[in-house]
Structure formats: C-alpha cells, structure tokens
C-alpha cells in the first residue's frame, strides 16, 4: 500500500514510512492511495468472526505485506485484549462503550496499535534507530499514548498538554509513568500544543539529529484502527435488521473519519452524526458551507476543545471534496455545558446509564437526528469512562461512581511535568 500527502506536494510513501514520518514533508496528512471494498461475504458472515479476525480483514490492505499475516494478527490480539460492549438503552438507541482498555478511553486501540507497529519495525532493523513520538493532547490521547508506548524499545514519548485544561485523572495518566515518557505542560490551549507539534515536524534543525513522529490521529497507525469499533458494533446489532446511524462526539475528527473509512470499505452505515461542544467549527460548516477555524474554548467536555480539527481534510477526501456528498452523510450539532449536564442527569434518571460529558453530547446529537429520522438504529459512542471527569459530573452521580482498577493504580503517583510556554522551549528540550 502506498500513501500520498493530501497537500499533493510530497513523494508517495509506504505504510512503514507513513507511520514513522507521521506528517508529510509538505505539511499534509497521509492518505491511502487506494481503498478496496471488502467482499459481501465478509459482512454476511461477520457474526461468526471474532474481533481479531474482523480487525485483520479491515486493516490488512492498509498494511500490505510490510507486516506478515502472523505478526499482524499477533499485534491485533494484543491490541484488542478488552471488550467493546454495546449497551441497549431503548429499541432505537444504544451506547458503544470504548473505555474498557488500560487508560479507559477509546484512544487505547490506536495508541497500542501504533506502538506495536513501531516496535515491530524497530525490531526488524539491524541498526536500531531511536524515534521520538511527539504528541499533543486535549485529554485522553496523552494517557493512551503513554500507556501504549511505555517501555517500547527505541521509542521516547514526549506529550504536550494544556496546563489546567485536562482533568486530574487525565493528567495523572500522562505525567506519572516515567521511563520513556515525558510530559510537557504548556501554557495555552490544545491548539497551541498541536501547532508546536506540527511545527517541530517541519523544522529542518531536527534533520539527522532527532527522528520525530506523531501519535496524534494525524498518524495513519493511530487513525485507521479506530475503524474496528464500527465493525464490532455492526456485528452486535446486525440482528435488528435496521440501518445504522453512528453519533460520534468529535474534537479532532479522527474517530468519525475512521468510521467513514469503514463505510468506504462497505460497512453498511446509513449516516453519521457529529456532536460537539462550543467548539462548533464543523456543525457551522455543514450549515453554511464555509470552513472557518477558530481559537478553541474550554468546556467540561475537554477532549473536544479543538478549534482547528486536523482530520477534517481526510473526511473531505473520503467524500471526493464534495460538500453536497458530505452533507448527505454527516449531520452536526453543538451543545452548551448546561445542556451536557442535563443530558447526563436525564440518561441516569431515564435509563440508569452513566455517560461522561463527551458521550452525553453524542447522545444529544443522536436524539436530535432521530427526531426527524425514524426506523433506524442509532449508536452513540461513549468514548471515556465517566470517572475521568469527576470534577464536572453531577454530584449525585459522581459520589456513587466506583473507581476502576486502572485508575486506582495511578491516583497516588507523583506528577512529573516540565512547564513550557512557546515553541523555542520545546525545541530547546528536544535539541539541548
């Protein structure tokens, strides 16, 4: 498989090169040169397949022969070592829980897949090359990347996160592990962190001095494995015989973009819904046709506090650059913090279901879409465990939440971070 830059001014690269580079030299995101639909027989018989077999069929064309079948299946077996339950709330709405992994966030799958791919590639080289994974986080990415890459030989991880704008538990997950993980606490917002990361990739001063790659969803090995969730949900709900609609709480738009890739592979998805907070760039675009990024604002659903979503260019590519095609496939809604809290309370009272602030927004967006679209099966993605957002959860719910084992293990560890406020300080750290 070859990958090209969506800025169309860089050489095509292999899967391995795209994973290691992260971002193309022309600042573009990598995108597969070809996408081949899976055979109808795969979907007809999906109930008989386990998660690893489903994931292998979905991802193998994008990896090609760069990782042998046996090794790729071993990687997937390791990555998919936890459950992805679909919880039915009523006849037309289900929640797809993606938080049962080691850091209790949906990003565990992509981070673990990328880490193991890099580990495999590093193990094949006679001369070992050290790689620095440079990643920006608005909340859950940092913890997932830290956990996924912990102890991987030849890989150093440097995580940039906005000071005071991630939850206490999220901060613990990315600042307490040590070993090959370093956290840089940035005076600013997520977009500042993301801009620094992108700038570093393009800084020629790093050439031949430090090899950088990204573990944000701009990296294909972080982005593409998120397809798996949609296949698993289809398998669980196929017996209902209804068209599927997925509502995805979205910030950088990697997760919903991966779902659209699954749809491109032939997965029968009728429609996508994006739910956002006050950072409503995409819902506004869908209303007006004008794409205008803006500075992000802080909300209680902090993982979606993104004002310039990186993966939207891939979404446009998947729809041939056509606004009309995209609008037929995607609806968008945004909600205030007050509405988000009301939804959390409503779900608990009516369905005895505890959603985190991001999942609550996914639910609200799905409910609004279903109001005008009957006879479909709606699925909203519950992307992180509610325990990670205790300070903003309603007290009546927060007080009764049990702390999972994954969280207990880090609560009393000491935070270690390095404070920076601009790109030059990041550069000084990376090139002392």
Which positions ≥6 away from 247 have C-beta within 8 Å? 272, 273, 274, 275, 362, 363, 365, 366, 369, 378, 379, 380, 381
Query: So what's the pLDDT on residue 1?
Result: 92
Mean of pLDDT values over 268-277: 97
% of the chain exceeding 90 in pLDDT: 70
Q: Is the pLDDT of residue 411 over 80?
A: yes
Q: Is the pLDDT of residue 131 over 90?
A: no
Handedness of CA 32, 223, 230, 65 (dihedral sign): positive
Q: Is the pLDDT of residue 126 over 60?
A: no
Tokens 């993104």 locate to 306
Whether 388 and 356 have beta carbons less than 8 Å apart is answered as yes
Q: Is the pLDDT of residue 227 over 80?
A: yes
Q: Is the pLDDT of residue 216 over 90?
A: no
CB atoms inside a 10 Å sphere around CB 354: 20
Domain boundaries, the chain: 84-105+223-402
pTM: 0.90
> 119: part of which helix (H) or strand (E)?
helix 107-123
Range list of β-strands (E), 250-326: 269-276
Query: So what's the pLDDT on residue 397?
Result: 95
For the beta sheet containing 86-88, the strands, ordered from the edge strand earlier in sequence to the opposite edge, are 86-88, 93-97, 376-382, 243-249, 269-276, 330-334
Tokens 């956290």 locate to 183
- Which region among 216-220, 269-273, 324-328 has the lowest average model confidence (pLDDT)? 216-220
Please provide the distance, in angstroms rounded to a whole number, between the alpha carbons at the two ends of the chain.
37
User: CATH says 84-105+223-402 is which class?
Assistant: alpha beta
Residue 214: pLDDT band (50, 70, 90) is confident
Mean of pLDDT values over 179-183: 93
Model confidence over 37-55: pLDDT tens digits?
999 999 999 999 999 999 9
- What average pLDDT does the structure give for the chain? 93
Residue 410: pLDDT band (50, 70, 90) is confident
DSSP code string of 147-207: HHHTT-TTEEEEEEEETT-S-HHHHHHHHS--TTEEEEEESS-HHHHHHHHHHHHT-GGGT
Catalytic positions are: 107
């Amino acid at each position: 498989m070859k990958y090209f830059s969506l800025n169309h001014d860089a050489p095509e690269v292999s899967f391995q090169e795209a994973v290691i580079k992260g971002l193309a030299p022309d600042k573009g995101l990598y995108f597969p040169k070809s996408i081949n639909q899976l055979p109808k027989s795969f979907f007809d018989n999906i109930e008989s397949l386990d998660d690893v077999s489903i994931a292998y069929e979905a991802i193998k064309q994008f990896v090609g022969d760069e990782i042998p079948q046996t090794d790729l299946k071993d990687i997937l077996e390791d990555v998919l070592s936890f459950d992805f339950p679909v919880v039915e709330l009523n006849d037309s709405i289900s929640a797809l829980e993606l938080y049962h992994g080691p850091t209790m966030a949906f990003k565990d799958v992509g981070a673990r897949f990328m880490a193991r791919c890099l580990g495999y590639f590093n193990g094949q080289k006679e001369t070992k090359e050290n790689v620095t994974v440079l990643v920006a986080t608005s909340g859950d990415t940092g913890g997932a990347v830290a956990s996924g890459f912990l102890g991987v030989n030849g890989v150093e991880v440097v995580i940039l996160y906005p000071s005071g704008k991630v939850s206490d538990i999220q901060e613990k997950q990315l600042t307490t592990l040590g070993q090959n993980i370093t956290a840089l606490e940035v005076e600013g917002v997520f977009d500042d962190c993301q801009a620094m990361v992108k700038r570093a990739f393009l800084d020629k001063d790093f050439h031949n001095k430090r090899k950088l790659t990204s573990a944000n969803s701009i990296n294909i090995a972080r982005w593409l494995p998120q397809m798996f969730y949609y296949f698993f949900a289809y398998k669980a709900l196929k017996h209902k015989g209804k068209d599927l609609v997925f509502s995805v709480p979205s910030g950088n738009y990697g997760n919903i973009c991966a779902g659209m890739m699954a749809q491109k592979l032939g997965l029968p998805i009728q429609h996508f819904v994006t739910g956002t907070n006050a950072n409503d760039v995409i819902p506004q675009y869908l209303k007006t046709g004008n794409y205008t990024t803006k500075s992000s604002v802080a909300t209680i659903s902090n993982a979606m506090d993104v004002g310039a979503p990186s993966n939207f260019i891939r979404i446009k590519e998947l729809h041939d650059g056509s606004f009309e095609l995209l609008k037929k496939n995607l609806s968008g809604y945004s909600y205030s913090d007050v509405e988000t809290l009301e939804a959390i309370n409503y779900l608990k009272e009516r369905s005895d279901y505890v959603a985190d602030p991001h999942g609550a927004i996914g639910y609200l967006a799905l409910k609004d879409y279903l109001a005008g679209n009957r006879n479909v099966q709606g699925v909203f993605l519950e992307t992180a465990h509610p325990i990670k957002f205790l300070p903003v959860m309603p007290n009546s719910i927060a007080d009764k939440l049990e702390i999972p084992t994954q969280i207990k293990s880090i609560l009393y560890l000491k935070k270690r971070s390095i404070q920076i406020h601009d790109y030059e300080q990041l550069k000084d750290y990376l090139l002392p």
